[in-house]
Structure 1
Amino acid sequence: MADDLYRYPELRSAGNTRGAVRHAVEAGRLRRVTRGIYTGSNREPGEQVRAMLMRLPAEAVVGFHTGARLHGFGDVPQDVLHVIVPAGSVVPRIAGVTVHEAVLPVPDPVLLSGVPTAPAARCAIDLARTLRRIEALPLLDLALRSGACRPGDLAQEVTRHGRLRGVRQARHLVPLADARSECRQESQLRLVLLDGGLPRPEPQLWITDEWGRPTFRLDLGYRAHRVGVEYDGRSHLTRERLRSDRARMNWLSAHGWTMRYFTDRDLYLRPDHIVREVRRILPPRPTGPTVGTGDRGWRWSTCQAS
């Protein structure tokens, strides 16, 4: 329990009557943080979360979406507090709190903003198991790009989840995670290509000029075949960006690159179109197992384009 947070029974046992507590709140000497939890200090980072945890079993730790956000890779918007408790715990209903009863213990929670939090790899794999694939890979990419996790951390953590729900999806996605991916849609576009059985593209591929100087960078590319694949979001709609894009496209075309550009409509409503277009400009692959992960267990839905 934090030193600056007090349960109501503790205040009463210290000799305060109900009226005295109420008067202290009205006078500003005490502040009610959540039901039954009070503080006498100014607002501090993590205060609300710590107060909520005081209403839960002692073993409760923050995890899933909230844990990922505290670790710096909370890519999925969530206003709800997500906590993990041991399976079978008696948990009160608290508005704004989602409780995950876990049979898998949380080893060595870390303290972030004064809040006991599941390790970064645990948060990442829990989400990789439970999110839709189209959301899970961007989160794993961001977990690596933020430095919160290393590839070995994710690989080791996923083995701990054994036969838990969704672990098959997590096992497929962990080897595909790439720290070079720079946005959600780029990660999702890469997943579409892989699940379509196409070769693995290189994220953030630098193209050099005739003097070997880095000149342009592609979202995704196949260097050996001079094929580039890019996502066009709202940032490409300004006049200045349009001029820059046209000069870039002309240079790439003049230097033997074949480019394909896709929008949110392609990505979220017709991913098969993306696969067909890219397959058409790549040389035929040798017969044999595909690189795609299979298990295409998501439903596409429209989301905010960058």
Structure 2
Amino acid sequence: MPFPFVGSEALTAGLLNRYQLSTRYHMLHRDVYVLRGAELKPIDKAVAAWLWSGRRAVAAGLSAAALHGSKWIDAELPAELNHSSRHKTNGIVLHSDRLADDEVCVVRGIRTTTPARTAFDLGRRRGRTTAVVRVDALLQACDLKLADVQALIDAHRGMRGLVQLREVLDLADAGAESPQETRLRLLYTQAGMRPSQTQIEVFDHGLQVGRIDMGWPEWKVGVQYDGIQHWTDPRQRTKDIDQAAEYRALGWRIVRVGADLLRHRQGTIIARTRAALRAAGAPY
């Protein structure tokens, strides 16, 4: 039984005895157990919290995002429920928002805020960059339509955080495949150079050469964010070198960005990209 489960139910069903329960499993919440020593993912925490509520609560916030398939959620963060219970417990954040029937769906048998309502909630939280990262992740993970989030803004006028949420929706992009790509896109946007397209597929005589993270295909200028695997995996590095040569042969100018550049030398990124765009004839 590696997944979160209700201890009393497992005992009643004869799936294990009290000795096994106490020695092999860890009680995460009242009567909710997980395998001892297991590394819990956000989705595991979401399930465990829901079981703690007696299966009555609605998974919300980051727990809802995890159930909808969002990646890049910090596993150290607590689970989140929309629940009227006054009995708080460690590791669970309780919300008491009123949810309309069409703001709740069922995922894996768990009542969960819809993708639109989840984006509505996460996009209003303090920290615009983090909010955009989380909405981007939802766009990547599921069939979220920004128009549905906008409809919730119209239906909940006066709620806190709507000014930021409107900005987040304007900045969001389904093409971000990592938080760093989101942060890089926001850096360009802040500099007045928002990429006109993300995940640009490049072909040569009908064969795909590769896919560029973001850029301006009208000027054949692209930007690639290189994660750690691009430097530590020899096969990936060889592929990158070959791909770079193919891009050049097709007339593309590629700006490569790593973690150090994005963290400490943002001005260098803007200068290099602006130079590439100007060399291509773009009015930047």
Checking the alignment, whether the CA contact within 8 Å between 2:200 and 2:212 is kept in structure 1 is yes
1:214 to 208, 211, 215: 208
Structure 1 residue 65: Cα displacement: 0.5
User: Computing the radius of gyration over CA atoms, which structure comes out larger, 1 or 2?
Assistant: 1
Partner of 1:50: 50
1:1-306 → structure 2 map (5 Å cutoff): 26=18, 34-35=29-30, 37=31, 48-54=48-54, 60-78=57-75, 79-85=77-83, 91-102=86-97, 104-108=98-102, 109-130=104-125, 132-209=127-204, 211-237=205-231, 238-283=233-278, 285=283
**CA–CA distance in 1 between the matches of 2:87 and 2:116?**
28
List alignment gaps of at least 5 residues for structure 2.
9-15, 34-43
2-structure distance, mates of 1:285, 1:168: 31
SS at match of 2:254: strand
- Whether the 8 Å contact between 2:68 and 2:142 is mirrored in structure 1 is no
CA distance in structure 1 between the aligned counterparts of 2:157 and 2:18, rounded to whole angstroms: 52
User: Aligned partners of 1:133, 1:188: CA distance in 2, in Å?
Assistant: 11
Give the alignment's TM-score, normalised by structure 1: 0.70
RMSD: 3.3
Instruction: Write the letter of the residue equivalent to 2:218.
Output: A
Contact 2:61 2:122 (8 Å CA) reproduced: yes
Compared CA separation, residues 27 and 227, structure 1 to 2 (3 A): closer
Secondary structure of the structure 1 residue equivalent to 2:124: helix
| Offset, 1:33 | 7.8
Tell me the TM-score normalised to structure 2 length: 0.75
After superposition, the Cα gap between the structure-2 partners of 1:50 and 1:138, relative to the gap in structure 1 and judged at 3 Å, is: closer
CA displacement at 1:261 relative to structure 2: 0.8
SS of residue in 2 equivalent to 1:130? coil
Letter in 1 for 2:134: L
Contact residue 33 and residue 51 of structure 1 kept, 8 A: no
Letter in 1 for 2:72: D
Equivalent pairs counted in the alignment come to 253
**How far has the Cα of 1:225 moved from its partner?**
1.1
Give 1:247 deviation, angstroms. Answer: 2.0
Look up the SS of the partner of 1:129 in the other structure.
coil
Q: Deviations over 1:248-288 (max 9, x none)?
A: 222222332221111112223333332232223224648xx
Partner Cα separation in structure 2 for residue 47 and residue 239 of structure 1: 39
Any idea what SS the aligned residue of 1:224 has?
A: coil
Identity percentage over the alignment?
25
After the TM superposition, list the runs of 4 or more consecutive aligned residues in structure 1 that deviate by more than 6 angstroms.
4-7
* Matches of 2:80 and 2:155, distance apart in 1: 21
Provide Cα deviations, 1:115-134, integer angstroms capped at 9, x if missing partner: 22211211122111115333
Q: 1 or 2 for the larger relative contact order (CA 8 Å, sep ≥6)?
A: 1
- Cα shift at 1:25: 7.3
